Amino acid sequence: MENMWYVIVNPTSGNGTPKKNWKRIISCLEAHHLLYKFTFSEYTNHEKELVQEALKEGYRKFICVGGDGTLHQVVNGVMTQDYVNLPEIKVAIIPMGTGNDWVKTYQIPKNISKAVAIIKREKTMYQDIGYLELLDDTNRVYFNNLAGLGFDGFVIKNSLKYKKFGAFAYLLATLKTFLQYEKSVLTIDFNNKKIYTKTLLTLIGICKYSGGGMQLTKDVDPIDGLFDISIAKNLNFISILRNILKFYNGSIVDHKEVETHKTNSIKITTYDENTYIEADGELIGTGGFEASIIPKAIQFIIP
């Protein structure tokens, strides 16, 4: 089983894209002579359970068919088990989600045949993984792309209503959120610094893209053992509209109202219990959190 791929399919990702393309996926896997077993997830967080059951059965290589949320659950399945050494495990993805943000950092194509060809070559890289612990409850999660709170979390909450629009769901949710959102007051502790400020959003990134292709962090390196922090302060609705392209080309980090930093751990305290927290595009709670980075934790298949 160590030479077989365990394929975890989220049939609801990307408005059912994996289910619609399943025959094509099977055809590509078999054309590249990959040995595999597959299963479909059936409910929220099921992927995490499937990973851990497969590891107990002897599987060590996983293909995630879905989007950022599906990959997030697979990563959490890997990181929360304690019976297999992490270097024995490999994780690949055939991207079929709404935003497909994590794959953009590595330029993994959405084309099924090309994505499977990358898996066949089995080139890997150990990537950093973030560990996040909420301050107000016992919720603990791992993330492989980006986490944030404030406006960012509220956008994720609103984007659930626009999933049928694909990557545009995040843009529509962003515009809607600006009409509703009030800036949060935070205390941000890192590198022996303490910042007390009103912010639009605060992001901690490992990789480059979020929100359906936005670039909100600076100088990211997924293997440097550091988070890239972006703190957006007094950006208002008009300012956002004027600078909307900068959100997608990455130059928004140079705006005078945006601070950027690097750190391997951070604590954020909020004074509003309705401040939403997201990790890899998944809502995980409200309030503040502590986060730390685990250097080069998981092997991912990349081009």
CA–CA gap between residue 295 and residue 222 (Å, rounded)? 9
> N- to C-terminal Cα distance for the chain?
24
pTM of the model: 0.91
Q: Which helix (H) or strand (E) holds 8?
A: strand 5-9
Q: Helix, strand, or coil here: 91?
A: strand
Length of the chain: 303
How far apart CA 279 and CA 206 sit, in angstroms, is 11
Parallel, antiparallel, or unpaired: how do β-strands 5-9 and 36-40 relate?
A: parallel
The backbone region for 250, taken as left when phi is positive above 0, alpha when psi lies in -120 to 50, beta otherwise, is left
Helix axes 112-121, 22-31, angle to 10 degrees: 40
Which residues sit opposite 264 in a β-bridge? none
Give, for all 303 residues of the chain, the pLDDT tens digit.
778 999 999 998 888 899 999 999 999 999 999 999 999 999 988 999 999 999 999 999 999 999 999 999 999 999 999 999 999 999 999 999 877 999 999 999 999 999 999 999 999 999 999 999 998 777 789 999 999 887 767 777 766 676 666 666 666 766 676 666 677 889 999 999 999 998 888 999 999 998 778 899 998 999 999 999 999 987 777 887 788 889 889 999 999 999 999 999 999 998 877 788 889 988 888 888 999 999 999 999 999
- Alpha-carbon span 160 to 155, nearest angstrom: 9
**Rounded Cα gap, residues 288 and 135, in angstroms:** 6
Which secondary structure element, helix H or strand E, spans residue 31, and what is its range?
helix 22-31
